[in-house]
Amino acid sequence: MNSFSDQPLIVDCTGMRCPLPILHFRKAARAAEFGKSLLLLSDDPNTHRDFAAFCHAAGHVLVAVEEQAGRWQFLVQPGCAAETGGE
């Protein structure tokens, strides 16, 4: 059973074009509670390529990627203290 706190923080960037989804995700990851997963939503087709590269470079774990009807969902576990604001 999942508790509410286990639910990912949703970063809805629908309608935004790169690099805005990455910038909004980065801001949300820094503000998020340590260990909190984030779910990025985007309908920009370039986000798939760009966001995966960003996660790799920043040390985030891209847990799952799903595309439905042109809308991408990226489930991410932030992993880099410098990106998340952690110690």
Task: Say how far apart CA 78 and CA 74 lie, in whole Å.
Answer: 12
Positions in the chain whose pLDDT score sits under 70: 1-5, 80-87
Cβ atoms of 58 and 52 closer than 8 Å: no
Of 13, 18, 55, 80, the active-site residue reads 18
Q: Which domains does the chain have, with CATH numbers?
A: 7-84 (3.30.110.40)
Position 6 scores a pLDDT of 75
Task: Say how far apart CA 54 and CA 58 lie, in whole Å.
Answer: 6
Is 18 marked active-site? yes
Position 48 scores a pLDDT of 86
Position 80 scores a pLDDT of 61
The model's pTM? 0.83
Burial class (CB in 10 A: 0-12, 13-18, 19+), 20: middle
